[in-house]
Amino acid sequence: MKASHPSSVKTWAEGLLTQLEQSDNPRPKEQLELLRRQIADLNTKSQRSKANADEETFEVVRSHEQLVVAAATVNKADVVVISLTTTSIKHREGEIVGVSLATLDGAFYIPIAHRFPETGKLLPDQLTPLAVAETLKLEHLPLIGHDVKFELHWLRAHADIKCTFHWDTMVAAALLRSDKSDDLKDVAMRVLDAPDWRLPKPDMERIANLSVDVAGRYCTTDCRMILKLYEEQRQCQALNKSLLNEVEMPLIEVTAELEKVGYAVDVNFFTNLRKTLEEKVATKEQEIQAIAGAQFNPSSPKQVCGLLYDQLGLPILERTATNQPSTKGDVLNRLHDQHEVVGQILEHRKSNKLLSTYGSLGEKVDPDGRLRVPFNQLGAETGRFSSSSLIQTMPKSDDHGIRQGFVAPPGSKIVAADFSQQELRILASVSRDENMMRAINEGVDLHSLAAVNVFGLDCTAEEVGTKFPEKRSQVKAVQFGIVYGKSSTSLAKDLSIKRSEADDLLDNYFTQFPNVKNMIDEAHQSVTRDGFIDDIFGRRRYIPDATLARPKKQYNRMTDREKDIVGRISAARRAAQNFVIQAAGATITKLAMLRCHQAIQNCYPQIKMILTLHDELQFEVPEEQVDAFAGELPELMCKLCLERFGISIPLEVEVKVGPSWGELSPWEETTNVSK
């Protein structure tokens, strides 16, 4: 039986109420009041039904005349949400299927490239991206979106326009909760309690073959949810608006340009590298097989285990979780001197790893000779950039000089600028440790100074590098260990010393730099109390494990579950102290990127920013502009007006120049520029 619509029932009930009220027959007052309440409930349901219907309503724009009418609506709106539906995530490989727009006054879906499922031919009555962009005047609209870098790339590639976005709900969501998914559906379900409106995966894969109504409803729902998220985020007190508007939003355009430009690659270099590595892998396999005396696969842990422990009888140093003798790299390193085959297996693994990682890199280069990779400006919870490509994991040094394959085109040079000891300078500023701050201001090497103080060396800081290099290395490990939140156990392993010796080393260090210990304790207390930690720029990271209740037992009497809790608490606290330093470094590097980008636009239009890597920036610079730009880089990257955030230590960058990434040489003396 079909249910009656609330509005029709309401009409009937209102008529009945009128008849009863006007009738001479007496009616109990309670019955009349009950009927009135039921009518009020029906009225509320009717209003909700209408609101839900309005939310699902959208206009399909198929003609230029309809587009002009839509333009009248969107051009008077305070904000306009835009979302593109495409056949690929890569703008060079796919096409725009449709454009959806939403304002407070309505939603529109503009079909662009919907196709007949049977033939693949375009449906009639569709518009072009260029017509949409020109008629709607997209370049001048106050646009917002979710992952607007995606829209920037597609609109530039397919409509030849450069839009300005005022808000990105994905970036805002990541700033609010870096520990949660920033996918639109996930954010809307979490923040707005919205139902999941995802289409089935097969439908998404054939989006161009779906009906315009189905695709339009899905895409305009995206837009409406983005608009609701925008309104929610705009009013959210926890969102750091300065970080969003002054750093992350302007950086989207810089990142899009970085991805558009790419890095020039010597394809022949990687072709030859692949051939060399294949030959090396084959040679090592033959050498190992000669010892094994049979067909042998060095990549098989089972066969390696059989050769080393069963056939050769080497000592078993560690076992796996399944109680098998371990063949991990660090175990084999300790067995290196036991038999020559161990070194050969390690060499085979190294060459095979390089081959699988970099051997096919030349095949990923675009026809114009440039490698273009995606960057995620909020890829790490510290706010640092990440990339799904291998460009951020390129080895600094190896037998094959892999970085030499990344080159400057003829007539240009690679100019790289790397912050010098950025993290330690931030550590000094954040901790306000007088000894550290004095050393930096006087130009004293922090690692050498720490070595003198921690070990009581009978020399000046300037002499440590020559007289006691091993002591400097130990203290360097301690200082970077503090930045990365390493435990004494981890430090002991890195330095190949006992844990008690690592504990003494840390204690001596904190005695010399007491405010560093105070800063770490404050970070631990803050994250334990609140479940989150803020850096000096107001960037926040939630680390809920820090608030777990620590079991009140001696460790050796705890259950495995209780030990796991202790481990999670310790890891959370170390992550908090790491975040305070790493997050500040990420923002400083981003501010430097913005200044360099602005300088390039204003003064050096031929220069291209081609890479951001931790605290280093790289540029492709015409040879005739190298000296001018290299000379200006220290000021561009260091004068960032950071005093208002408590950074009182001068920043320093080292500028290098060369024909390739792997052949960079200092351009001049390291330049120290006060802020």
Q: Topology of 374-422+586-673 in CATH?
A: Alpha-Beta Plaits (3.30.70)
Sequence-distant (6+) residues with CB within 8 A of 367 are none
At residue 219, does pLDDT exceed 50? yes
Per-residue pLDDT, averaged over 169-194, amounts to 96
- Please give the class, per CATH, of domain 267-364: mainly alpha
Whole-number pLDDT of residue 18: 66
Radius of gyration for the chain, computed over Cα atoms and rounded to the nearest angstrom:
32
SS3 665: strand
Say if CB 667 and CB 656 are below 8 A apart: yes
Q: What is the CATH number of domain 59-239?
A: 3.30.420.10
Q: What confidence category does residue 14 fall into, taking pLDDT thresholds of 50, 70 and 90?
A: low
Q: Distance (Å, rounded) from C-alpha 504 to C-alpha 501?
A: 5
- Per-residue CA distances from 305 to 316, 333, 517, 550 (Å): 10, 14, 45, 40
Q: Encode pLDDT of 461-471 as tens digits.
A: 888 888 998 88
* Average pLDDT in the chain: 89
At residue 674, does pLDDT exceed 60? no
At residue 50, does pLDDT exceed 50? no
Q: Encode pLDDT of 583-601 as tens digits.
A: 999 999 999 999 999 999 9
At residue 669, does pLDDT exceed 70? no
Q: Distance (Å, rounded) from C-alpha 475 to C-alpha 393?
A: 26
- Per-residue CA distances from 507 to 455, 469, 478, 510, 512 (Å): 11, 21, 11, 5, 9
Of residues 141 and 646, more confidently modeled: 141
At residue 675, does pLDDT exceed 60? no
Whole-number pLDDT of residue 656: 96
Q: Distance (Å, rounded) from C-alpha 37 to C-alpha 600?
A: 68
Q: Distance (Å, rounded) from C-alpha 99 to C-alpha 138?
A: 12
At residue 240, does pLDDT exceed 80? yes
Q: Which amino acid is at 295?
A: Q
At residue 631, does pLDDT exceed 80? yes
Tokens 């662009």 appear where? 112
Locate 605 and state its tokens. Answer: 């239009």
User: What's the first-to-final CA gap in the chain, in angstroms?
Assistant: 77
Which of 189-203, 391-405, 572-586 shows the lowest per-residue confidence on average (mean pLDDT)? Answer: 391-405
Tokens 């609701």 appear where? 228
Q: Distance (Å, rounded) from C-alpha 133 to C-alpha 140?
A: 10
Question: Can you give the residue ranges of every domain in the chain?
Answer: 6-56, 59-239, 267-364, 374-422+586-673, 425-583
Instruction: For residue 403, give the nearest of 419, 389, 392 by alpha carbon.
Output: 392
Whole-number pLDDT of residue 48: 43
At residue 42, does pLDDT exceed 60? no
Q: Encode pLDDT of 543-598 as tens digits.
A: 999 999 999 888 888 899 999 999 999 999 999 999 999 999 999 999 999 999 99
Per-residue pLDDT, averaged over 254-268, amounts to 96
Q: What is the CATH number of domain 425-583?
A: 1.10.150.20
Q: Distance (Å, rounded) from C-alpha 631 to C-alpha 443?
A: 20
At residue 517, does pLDDT exceed 60? yes
Say if CB 486 and CB 499 are below 8 A apart: no
At residue 620, does pLDDT exceed 90? yes
Task: Please determine whether the domains at 59-239 and 425-583 fall in the same fold group of CATH.
Answer: no
Of residues 15 and 164, more confidently modeled: 164
Q: What confidence category does residue 226 fall into, taking pLDDT thresholds of 50, 70 and 90?
A: very high
Q: What confidence category does residue 474 fall into, taking pLDDT thresholds of 50, 70 and 90?
A: confident
Q: Which amino acid is at 576?
A: A
- Specify whether the backbone of 611 is left (phi greater than 0), alpha (psi in -120 to 50) or beta: beta
Locate 517 and state its tokens. Answer: 């210990």
